[in-house]
Amino acid sequence: MGIQEINPVIDEFISLCERTKEPVNLPVRLLDEVKQIDANSLSKEDRSRVLKCVAFFSIHPDPDTSRDSIAYVVDGIEERPSELDYLISELKPMLLGFGSKKKQSGTSQPGLNPKLGYSFDEDENKRKWQENGGLMSIALFYTVLLTMKNERVSVNLNWIIPGIMNLLDDTTDLVNIKLNGVLLLKTFVTHCFDVSGTADSKWITFNQTGMFGMVEPILVNMCYFLPPSHNNSDVILESVYDCLIALYRRNFDLPVMKRYLGDTLLSKVILQYTIPKIGIKYENVLEYIIETTTRIVKLLGKESVLYMQRIIYVFGECVVRDPFVTTLKNREIIPNVIGMLETLVDVCPCDRVQQHRLDFLALVVILYQKYDTEGGVDAALLQRLQSFLAQLKHEGCDLTEPCEELVKAHPGLSVLLQ
């Protein structure tokens, strides 16, 4: 491609990108052409503007487009680190802000003053910001955080923290603004600090930013964005849960991280509220909650024993014993429940597992009887239930006597228990 052909393509690409209001409308048709152009053949100004425009594709709905664009920008900044300064200088004026508050003047009067209450000015500012292409700043913000090294963090906190907080505080657009604030927070937590995160590091740690106390309550509150009040709750929870786990890992040492993970996310959010509320009515959400519970149990290890009884009870009452459990369309849910129980048994001390052997046995028998009554137990489910019973026996659970009594009372259980 000759130099006379390069400039029109670059000019059209930059022009279209800078006029675009939302990532989904970006000119993907030109992206591949632009990325194939040798950056060294461009002027410094064009290189920088191209890098900025490609960065807008970082949160594009198409995963391949997003991934390739991020790689292009990362490579560009690694080759020319000064490009990061350019991206930051372009980003700052685009950040969501509410303007300076007018100073109050005059003597305050006693009594109620409605002007001090909630105002729609902030929501109006956000609406204008969004209409003027403010969503594009999120993509640029995301790319900057992905490429920012720990030594650059402290001098940029003055715009990073307000920039993320303004998105997390949004009440106008859950998907495009608030959830993207969660994405930025997770990116900041996981990419901008030393892996060790130790207090003796020569660079600032996440804990030292003081952000934890501001963002953790927001994330926990978002864990209650459940159906039917919120659509796509599985997408919301996946984003929020992942961010919370990353937040706890980065902000605390291992023992404290486990305590927050268990007491807040597992116990308070999942077991106390989410599972009892959704039951089996919202299968996509339930599937993700089961997967997350399994993940948390693995992270907690033997300390999962603190929550074992509640896990058994809540999943037993709200899922296994539900009268309509056999009508689940998602055939992965019940095997995933069994897999979660297998993980729980695997990580917890044998003596505590043995104390709950009858509870585990009850879950197995109830599942078998429900499916047997409603049309039969398929071979895969039967094998999975029997495998779990074998695991219990391997952990030292003596099930001989209770199994014999159950078979006497219900001969049909012999297929499962003998």
For 400-412, the pLDDT digits (tens) are 999 999 999 999 9
What's the sign of the alpha-carbon dihedral 385, 389, 391, 392? positive
Q: Please give the DSSP secondary-structure letter assigned to residue 243.
A: H
pLDDT band at residue 196 under the 50/70/90 scheme:
low
Asked if residue 104 has pLDDT above 70, the reply is no
Residue 136, C-beta contacts closer than 8 angstroms, at least 6 positions apart: 20, 21, 22, 23, 56, 94
pLDDT of 100: 36
Asked whether the beta carbons of 370 and 324 are under 8 A apart, the reply is no
What is the structure's pLDDT at 418?
Answer: 76
pLDDT tens by residue, 318-377: 999 999 999 999 999 999 999 999 999 999 999 999 999 999 999 999 999 999 998 889
The closest of 401, 396, 394 to 354, measured between CA atoms, is: 396
State the pLDDT confidence band at 198, using cuts at 50, 70 and 90.
low
Residue 103 DSSP one-character state? P
DSSP of 4-58: HHHHHHHHHHHHHHHH-SSGGGS-HHHHHHHHHS-GGGS-HHHHHHHHHHHHGGG
Cβ neighbours for 290, distance < 8 A, ≥ 6 positions apart: 333, 336, 337, 340
If you ran DSSP here, which 8-state letter would residue 364 be given? H
The CA distances from residue 4 to 39, 40, 240, 244, in Å, are 15, 15, 48, 51
Position 8 scores a pLDDT of 86
Q: What does the pLDDT read at residue 122?
A: 72
Cβ 140 vs Cβ 56: under 8 Å: yes
| 203 Cα distance to chain centroid | 26
**CB-based burial of residue 282 (10 Å sphere; 0-12 exposed, 13-18 middle, 19+ buried)?**
middle
Distance (Å, whole) CA 72 – CA 6: 18
What band does 197 get if pLDDT is binned at 50, 70 and 90? Answer: very low
Could you report the per-residue pLDDT of 258-292, keeping only the tens digit for each?
Answer: 999 999 999 999 999 999 999 999 999 999 999 99
Q: 399 by DSSP, 3-state: which?
A: coil
pLDDT of 3 above 60: no
